[in-house]
Structure 1
Amino acid sequence: MNVKNKFRTRPFMPLLCLMALLIGLAGCKTSRQAGSKSNETGYLSSKVTLTVPTKDAVLTVNGTMKLKNGERMQLSFLMPILRSEVARIDITPDEVILVDRMGKRYVQASRQELKGMLPKKATFQHLEKLLYAASRPGGKNTLTGSELGIPSLEKGKIELTDFSTKPFNLTPTQLSSRYQKVELHELLEMLMSL
């Protein structure tokens, strides 16, 4: 079964894996100090490769990460060859929006709603520190599911490459009325069934 068919049969699966990895990324600990922000421009972008083994094959999805310091971080994942967006995660200090472009569904949750399921260190500021640390020379830019504390995705990994600090335009995710909102408890049930 090719990747394209995987997305048709279980379009929400990649989005759930991304959410699980992101939760782990935001909550994982690093022994390295983030350092001074004096070298940071306020903008950070990179290419992202997410690899998740499934029962039938290994799913690899490429995309981009954009971070505007203190405001917003977006992960966008693209379908191979066609390069159209299949999933997006939009994170601000106050909320998280997960968009399944293929299934026309999304989850929007505030930090307060996510508080019970996220580790205490899972803050926007901690996520920024991890991303800036990964972008530095010699920084750890590949994290496995095991390192992220996600045993069900122990062989999965997320890799950040080709970092840039050039300014860019980063707008909030806007969704049309064609998208169906999925409640947080439904997302939790789907995550638990992985």
Structure 2
Amino acid sequence: MHESAQPDRNPPLSAPGLAQGRNRRRVTLRLRLATALASLASAIAADAAPPPSNLIPKNAEQAFATTAAGLQIYSCEYDGNHRIAWVFQHPEATLYDASGVAVIRHGAGPSWEAQDGSRIVGEKIADAPSPNAGSIPQLLLSTRATANGSLASVRYVQRLDTMGGAAPATPCSAEHQVGSSPYYAHYVFWK
């Protein structure tokens, strides 16, 4: 009996082959996420009610709008009465343009940093309840630039149509325990 030499149809994957496969899956996952977020942005924009009047900046013009997906981070801390509860710490979110491209990173401060390195920090001026029950409030923030670039001329940021982000429903049990809550929102930047 003679075995014919046939090419191996399932060759073992090398380390570079594994890395390429993982990278391909990551890119595919990111593209799917971007597509889903673009759809979400369209749905939010289409269904969005006008913002409350206290969240509309005076003497400003809209620069651009984005949709955010991310987390609101909380930690368990004791209050003045020695009761432990979730306390908001900071956001961790990515903001996407209308075509689903990641354009801004949103973090502590609160701050927003664009791909070109420009950065603004916000301070709350006003808030209003979310139209979605159990969600973080809508906000109007004034901003100041901390780095030059595409965000340097932004004077105000609105956080609108929030979905989710409230403190975790699970009670916290240990001081400094960290919890998070996913959220979506529409961010509008004003000059």
* TM beyond 0.5: no
**Greater share of strand residues, 1 or 2?**
2
| Larger Rg over CA atoms | 2
TM-score bucket (shorter structure): under 0.3
**Greater share of helix residues, 1 or 2?**
1
Q: Which has the higher contact order (CA 8 A, sep 6+)?
A: 1
What is the TM-score of this pair, normalised by structure 1?
0.27
What is the TM-score of this pair, normalised by structure 2?
0.28
